[in-house]
Structure 1
Amino acid sequence: MDKIIEIIHRIYGDKFTASHVDKLRCSVLEGAGRIIERRHSGWRESDVVLITYADQFSRVNEKTLKTFNRFYKKHLNASFPVVHFLPFYPWSSDDGFSVKNYVQIDTRYGDWKDVAEIKKSCRLMFDFVCNHISAQSDWFQGYLQGRPEYQDFFIALDPATDLSAVTRPRALPLLTPFTLASGEVKFIWTTFSPDQVDLNFANPNVLLAMVDVLMQYLERGADYIRLDAVGFMWKTPGTSCIHLENTHQLVKLFRAIVDVAAPGTLIITETNVPHKDNVSYLGKGDDEAHMVYQFPLPPLVLHAIRTQSVTTLRQWASVLPMRGNGKTTWFNFLASHDGIGLNPLRGIIDEPEIVALVDTLEKEGAKVNWKNNPDGSRSPYELNATYMDALTPPSWSDDERLARFILAHALLLTFPGVPAVYIQSVLGGRNDYDGVKRLGYNRAINRQKYDEDEIENLLAAPNSLRARTLEALTHLIAVRQRHRAFHPDSDFCISEKCNGVLEIIRGNAQDETIIALFNFTERSQALSLNEGCYQDLISEKLIDGEAITLRPWQSVWLCNN
């Protein structure tokens, strides 16, 4: 506990009293005593994460977690040993990210027994929505009613306060007026929406309440803890209020608590921001996050396929700090429940090129979300489309669509780190315009939910895009999981083999080396190889000679026989 108390005092000083310390010590140590399960330590080449909603699949008169478990065991168990459930708590908006109660399961989904049943077949990632809580939550309603235990749980400011320096992720007001039971109107800090009220971590009692939440997740068996929107946790008016030092200290604190209570549990930070800020959450390598989301990867792969040029992608990847130490790694993904973030491109690609990409996809049917800038202008911060539809113009054939999609995911599975695949990608999802119209927000385009019989029938058609996508992805994952060269910590070297062709070498001579080649162009490419006999692990074909010809959008994983 000494490290935990040291971090506490760095954050709060004398504000964190002896009474607070006693409560914290009790919460952590008593919770740790109830955790008897040993966590899987570290990461392996077999670790691939499925990102999904708890109500992704449904059946009449059945809790959705039971439906999910059946579908998962039938189609996904072998490919995805880790399942990231997006928030499955009672919620009021944003598809779960406006949490009303952190420690209950939404009754439509099931209960903690259903979660425990799923955990028998996989490891689980829980969302810790630590920056904000629903305006309909008991905590915030208690604040509005004047209950003393919730005073200072939230941040009320004079609306005349100069907040122009605050980084804004949305084109919405930062302060939202709420009327207290007394009739007084308070302007409350709401970074993301009026229904998502930011917590005041400057109040030690807020920290104690959130530590209790974290401990319950650990006791419920969370193997991964995802810290949602973590960069905004600490607010100091007059600053950017993002990535502040005390925010980093809070992440270090959560890491220290996890290390004491449930060693082996992994902390992942979700910060959709420029790369240098994102990687700062890895700290010194053993004191902050175990993994950070690799946010530049989705838009850079999209950019490479759309421009048929790998130069920018290669330049970015070639200077990535290589982890390889077993202490930290990347959390790689191409699609998620959110859109394709554009902020991570800034500083890598010039703004006119970002805008040109946005314009092209918007004309093809993608949706765009915008953010306000301090100078009063606005910028696109997110593209909304399924990754399948973002990669390929709508007029192209399904064969071409699938080829580009599998190329992108072969690259994802080759990159150093732990890969994660969103359920819509696994199922070959297309843009859900009906969902956007029905729900009224852009992100619904990539959040389609399925009746179990409906999706089973779609997958039963062997020549459908959905069935072919699932088959091709599960094959790629199975190959990756059999080869030590794809271990998250193995060596990584990237180069541009020729115009539009990327080469990645994984592994090492003592163990196993795989040469991965990716043709990001619509033309066939003839390439020279070092003399020898190779097997393409993807197609299982032997390549005997000094050359290989890649089809348009083809990827190969070559192992020297």
Structure 2
Amino acid sequence: MDVINQLIDEIYDHAFPADCRERLINAIQRTRAALNHQRKTHWDEKDVVLITYADQFRESEAPTLRTLSRFYQQHLQSTFNLVHLLPFFPYSSDDGFSVIDYHQVSAICGDWADIAGLHQHTRLMFDFVCNHMSAHSAWFKQYLAMDPAWNDYFISMPPATDLSGVTRPRTSPLLTPFEMADGTTHFIWTTFSADQIDLNFGNPAVLLTMVDVLLDYLAKGADYVRLDAVGYMWKTPGTSCIHLHKTHLLVKMFRAIANEVAPGTVIITETNVPHKDNISYFGNGHDEAQMVYQFSLPPLVLHAIHNGSSRALKQWAASLDQGGGATTFFNFLASHDGIGLNPLRGILPETEIVSLVRDLAMEGALISYKNNPDGTTSPYEINVTYMDALNKKDDSDDTRLLRFLLAHALLLAFPGVPAIYVQSILGSRNDIEGVKAAGHNRAINREKYAISAIEADLSDPQSLRHRVYHALSHLIRIRIRQPAFHPDAPMEVLESDNALLVMRRRTKNDEGPLLCVYNLSARAIAWTPPESQRYRDIVHDEIVDGEQPLTLAPWHWLWLKS
């Protein structure tokens, strides 16, 4: 408890009320005493995460969590050993990220017993939407009613306040007007939308209330906890209001509480920002997040395959600090959000970013923008399925599959824990009708399905879904049998032709190192292995003679074991 008390004092400048401190410590101790779920103590090569909505699959008169659990057991359990459930709470917008009640399961999904039922078959990752909540929540309604107990739960600012330096991830107004019970208007801080009201962590009562949420998730079995939009938690007008020192202290607080209550819990920060800011949430390697979302990987892999060039991806990969075992990356290509562009800034010139955006927009991708301090706007993310991001509208399914598997063979070989979005394992295409119905760009990659339709597609050998599902599942099952793909196993980037990316992954005892060779281009490339020896191609289970140059066909790759 010493670390927690020290963090409280630092965050609140030794002014944290004694009764609040006592309530917080008592809540931590009660949860720790009642908890009986044991977490896995560390990650390994067998850890592969499925990212999905709790209501992803639907069938009549069944809670969607039960449908998901059945689908997982039948189709996914041999491939994924951890499921990230995107917010499954009652919500009012943004497909779950405007939470109405943190402690309840959405009625369409089921209840906490259904969460526990899924948990019997897999480890679970919960979303902790800690920066903001719904304008339709009871908390905010109490605030608007001017209940004194909720007076400082949210941030009201005079509209004339100079907030020009605040980092903006959206083009929507930072302050949104709301009418109070007495008829006056308060302008409330809303970083992401008018329906997502930022919480005021400067109020000690907010910390207590949100720690209760975290403790509830730990008590209900969360093995991983994802801190959504965490970089914006602490606000100080006159600053950028992102990545502030006290935001980092709050993350350290959540980590310390999880360590105290449920050792083995992994805290993951979600910060869609340039790489150096993203990795700052590792802290000193032992006191903040154990994992950070590897936001630079999706756009860099896309850029590499789009241009047939490993230049930027190779240079970035060679520069990665691999954590030494105390921390690691949460690697992904696709998620419920778009493909973030901020993580490219500082790695690629803006001209190359704009060129990528333009090319994808011509092929049907949608683009979301952010406001800049100088009044201009910049592309913030590309809204598209990863399948359609990699390919052109008139490509054949054979070409689509090749590029898609190439990208995922890259993902699975990078140091860290890989995560696959449900739309990717299903080989999904852009949902244009979903965008029209929802009225926002991100719906392009958030389609929900009747379970009968998905299972019919998966049973049809001619469908793209069937081909993607079986090929990618096979690749993942090969990956989880290779100790050289342990998240802590070192990676070395080797010199190669610009159209190739060549990496070596080694085990701790250097037994069975793997050479991972990728042809990013549309042309065949000859490549000579660095050692003249025989290798086993573990993907195709074939012996390869390393004494002769090898030819990689367009968009092909090799995983070669010494």
Aligned equivalents of 1:183, 1:545: Cα separation in 2: 78
Aligned equivalents of 1:536, 1:356: Cα separation in 2: 36
1:211: Cα distance to partner?
A: 0.3
What is the aligned partner in structure 2 of residue 286 from structure 1?
Answer: 286
1:353: Cα distance to partner?
A: 1.0
What is the aligned partner in structure 2 of residue 448 from structure 1?
Answer: 447
Aligned equivalents of 1:527, 1:363: Cα separation in 2: 34
Q: Secondary structure at the match of 2:51?
A: strand
Contact 1:15 1:204 in 2 (8 A): no
1:156: Cα distance to partner?
A: 0.2
Aligned equivalents of 1:524, 1:295: Cα separation in 2: 30
Output aligned runs, 1:205-220, within 5 Å: 205-220=205-220
Aligned equivalents of 2:443, 2:121: Cα separation in 1: 29
Aligned equivalents of 1:111, 1:259: Cα separation in 2: 27
Q: Secondary structure at the match of 1:498?
A: coil
Q: Secondary structure at the match of 1:125?
A: strand
Give, as a single letter, the amino acid of the residue that structure 1 aligns with 2:366: K
What is the aligned partner in structure 2 of residue 33 from structure 1?
Answer: 33
What is the aligned partner in structure 1 of residue 402 from structure 2?
Answer: 403
What is the aligned partner in structure 2 of residue 106 from structure 1?
Answer: 106
Q: Secondary structure at the match of 2:258?
A: helix
Output aligned runs, 1:376-415, within 5 Å: 376-415=375-414
- Per-residue Cα deviation, 1:54-82 (whole angstroms, up to 9, x for no partner): 00000011110000011111110111100
Q: Secondary structure at the match of 1:535?
A: strand
1:541: Cα distance to partner?
A: 1.6
Q: Structure 2 regions of 5+ residues with no counterpart?
A: none
Aligned equivalents of 2:495, 2:404: Cα separation in 1: 20
Aligned equivalents of 1:71, 1:496: Cα separation in 2: 43
Contact 2:227 2:267 in 1 (8 A): yes
Aligned equivalents of 1:109, 1:375: Cα separation in 2: 44
Contact 1:55 1:64 in 2 (8 A): yes
Q: Structure 1 regions of 5+ residues with no counterpart?
A: none
1:526: Cα distance to partner?
A: 1.4
Q: Secondary structure at the match of 1:355?
A: helix
Aligned equivalents of 2:116, 2:513: Cα separation in 1: 39
1:42: Cα distance to partner?
A: 1.1
Q: Secondary structure at the match of 1:330?
A: strand
% identical equivalent positions: 57
The answer on 1:192 being equivalent to 2:184 is: no
Give, as a single letter, the amino acid of the residue that structure 1 aligns with 2:262: A
TM-score, with length taken from structure 2: 0.99
| Count of paired positions | 559
Aligned equivalents of 2:145, 2:546: Cα separation in 1: 77
Contact 1:42 1:326 in 2 (8 A): no
What is the aligned partner in structure 1 of residue 480 from structure 2?
Answer: 481
Aligned equivalents of 1:21, 1:373: Cα separation in 2: 39
What is the aligned partner in structure 2 of residue 244 from structure 1?
Answer: 244
Q: Secondary structure at the match of 2:462?
A: coil
Give, as a single letter, the amino acid of the residue that structure 2 aligns with 1:407: L
The answer on 1:537 being equivalent to 2:553 is: no
Aligned equivalents of 1:107, 1:232: Cα separation in 2: 30
What is the aligned partner in structure 2 of residue 554 from structure 1?
Answer: 556
Output aligned runs, 1:346-365, within 5 Å: 346-365=345-364
Q: Tell me which stretches of 4 or more aligned residues in structure 1 moved more than 3 Å.
A: none
Q: Secondary structure at the match of 1:477?
A: helix
What is the aligned partner in structure 2 of residue 328 from structure 1?
Answer: 327
The answer on 1:259 being equivalent to 2:259 is: yes
- Per-residue Cα deviation, 1:362-397 (whole angstroms, up to 9, x for no partner): 011000000110101000000000000000111111
1:525: Cα distance to partner?
A: 1.1
Q: Secondary structure at the match of 1:98?
A: coil
Aligned equivalents of 1:86, 1:50: Cα separation in 2: 10
Aligned equivalents of 1:148, 1:159: Cα separation in 2: 23
What is the aligned partner in structure 1 of residue 506 from structure 2?
Answer: 507
Q: Secondary structure at the match of 1:430?
A: coil
What is the aligned partner in structure 2 of residue 10 from structure 1?
Answer: 10
Aligned equivalents of 2:544, 2:409: Cα separation in 1: 19
Aligned equivalents of 1:512, 1:121: Cα separation in 2: 31
Q: Secondary structure at the match of 1:15?
A: coil
Contact 2:519 2:553 in 1 (8 A): yes
- Per-residue Cα deviation, 1:456-494 (whole angstroms, up to 9, x for no partner): 011111121110100111111101111100000001001
Output aligned runs, 1:292-371, within 5 Å: 292-323=292-323, 325-371=324-370
Aligned equivalents of 1:232, 1:510: Cα separation in 2: 42
Contact 2:8 2:14 in 1 (8 A): no
Give, as a single letter, the amino acid of the residue that structure 2 aligns with 1:410: A
Aligned equivalents of 2:559, 2:75: Cα separation in 1: 25
- Per-residue Cα deviation, 1:324-375 (whole angstroms, up to 9, x for no partner): x321000000000000000000111111111111011101100000011010
CA separation of 1:130 and 1:456: change in aligned 2, threshold 3 A: same
1:38: Cα distance to partner?
A: 1.3
Aligned equivalents of 2:104, 2:315: Cα separation in 1: 45
What is the aligned partner in structure 2 of residue 61 from structure 1?
Answer: 61
Q: Secondary structure at the match of 2:124?
A: strand
- Per-residue Cα deviation, 1:281-313 (whole angstroms, up to 9, x for no partner): 000000000000000000000000011000100
1:545: Cα distance to partner?
A: 4.2
Contact 1:314 1:496 in 2 (8 A): no
Aligned equivalents of 1:353, 1:486: Cα separation in 2: 31
Give, as a single letter, the amino acid of the residue that structure 2 aligns with 1:330: F
Output aligned runs, 1:264-283, within 5 Å: 264-283=264-283
- Per-residue Cα deviation, 1:157-180 (whole angstroms, up to 9, x for no partner): 000000000000000100000001
What is the aligned partner in structure 2 of residue 164 from structure 1?
Answer: 164
Aligned equivalents of 2:453, 2:169: Cα separation in 1: 36
Aligned equivalents of 2:74, 2:355: Cα separation in 1: 42
Aligned equivalents of 1:468, 1:36: Cα separation in 2: 41
Give the CA RMSD over aligned residues.
0.8
Give, as a single letter, the amino acid of the residue that structure 1 aligns with 2:475: L
Q: Secondary structure at the match of 2:496?
A: strand
Aligned equivalents of 2:558, 2:435: Cα separation in 1: 37
What is the aligned partner in structure 1 of residue 234 from structure 2?
Answer: 234
TM-score, with length taken from structure 1: 0.99
- Per-residue Cα deviation, 1:251-286 (whole angstroms, up to 9, x for no partner): 000000000000000000000000010000000000
1:37: Cα distance to partner?
A: 1.6
Give, as a single letter, the amino acid of the residue that structure 2 aligns with 1:314: K
- Per-residue Cα deviation, 1:103-160 (whole angstroms, up to 9, x for no partner): 1000110000000010011100000000001000000001001112111000000000
What is the aligned partner in structure 1 of residue 94 from structure 2?
Answer: 94
1:399: Cα distance to partner?
A: 0.5
Q: Secondary structure at the match of 2:387?
A: helix
Contact 2:519 2:555 in 1 (8 A): yes
Aligned equivalents of 2:35, 2:312: Cα separation in 1: 46
Aligned equivalents of 2:490, 2:316: Cα separation in 1: 17
Give, as a single letter, the amino acid of the residue that structure 2 aligns with 1:139: W
Aligned equivalents of 1:511, 1:107: Cα separation in 2: 51
Contact 1:533 1:545 in 2 (8 A): yes
Aligned equivalents of 2:253, 2:152: Cα separation in 1: 21
1:14: Cα distance to partner?
A: 3.3
Aligned equivalents of 1:277, 1:333: Cα separation in 2: 18
